């Protein structure tokens, strides 16, 4: 069998590689890497995908702090989320924790409890930890959809 027949359909390159944690998998500990990740199972610990996208599937239950470029939540997350680019909480998604990102989208029907800190520094470089000020922070009301 040639290696060409093992490549994903669509001509995926190594730059766009992704991984999947299936719904029957339970992970305790730290996950880090340099590829996109889809979680359908349960994870407890820390997830660090600095320059990649994390998708929390509809059947996923994640109890972890998350650091990624982009985070999309269809399932349940308990923990703090930090995304360099954006965080999306879909209509059936649930997040209980604090969010730090430059862009946020929370769909109607989503559940969110925590605070939101908008990081306006983006990719312009980190000029220190004083990049956040009180006026950039928008605390949300507990259990309300924004």
**pLDDT digits 0-9 by tens, 34-93:** 999 999 999 999 999 989 999 999 999 999 999 999 999 999 999 999 999 999 999 999
Q: What is the pLDDT of residue 16?
A: 61
Q: Is 5 inside a domain boundary? A: no
Tell whether 70 is covered by a domain.
yes
Separation in Å, CA 40 to CA 30, 34, 73, 82: 16, 19, 11, 20
Q: Between β-strands 61-73 and 36-39, what pairing exists: parallel, antiparallel or unpaired?
A: unpaired
CA-based nearest residue to 71, from 97, 40, 104: 104
Does any domain span residue 4?
no
The per-residue pLDDT of the chain, averaged, comes to 82
Give how many domains the chain has, as a whole number.
1
Percentage of residues in the chain having pLDDT higher than 70 = 72
Q: Evaluate whether residue 129 is within a structural domain.
A: no
Asked if residue 1 belongs to a domain, the reply is no
Chain segment 86-100, per-residue pLDDT in tens? 999 999 999 999 999
Average pLDDT over residues 7-29: 73
- Identify which of 13-22, 47-56, 135-144 has the greatest average pLDDT: 47-56
Q: Does residue 41 belong to any structural domain of this protein?
A: yes
In a domain, 135, yes or no: no
List the domain range (segments joined by +) for residue 40: 15-119
- Residue 129 — very low, low, confident or very high, per pLDDT cuts 50/70/90? very low
Q: Domain for residue 105, yes or no?
A: yes
């Amino acid at each position: 069998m040639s290696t060409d027949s093992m490549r994903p359909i669509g001509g995926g390159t190594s730059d766009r590689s992704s991984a999947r944690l299936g719904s029957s998998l339970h992970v305790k500990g730290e996950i880090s890497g340099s590829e996109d990740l889809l979680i359908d199972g349960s994870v407890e610990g820390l997830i660090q995908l600095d320059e990649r996208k994390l998708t929390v599937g509809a059947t996923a239950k994640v109890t972890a702090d998350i650091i990624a470029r982009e985070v999309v939540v269809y399932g349940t997350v308990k923990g703090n989320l930090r995304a360099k680019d954006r965080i999306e909480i879909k209509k059936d998604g649930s997040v209980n924790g604090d969010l730090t990102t430059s862009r946020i989208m929370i769909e109607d029907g989503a559940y969110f409890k925590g605070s939101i800190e908008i990081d306006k520094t983006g990719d312009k470089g980190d000029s220190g930890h004083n990049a956040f000020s009180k006026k950039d922070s928008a605390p949300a009301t507990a259990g309300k959809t924004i």
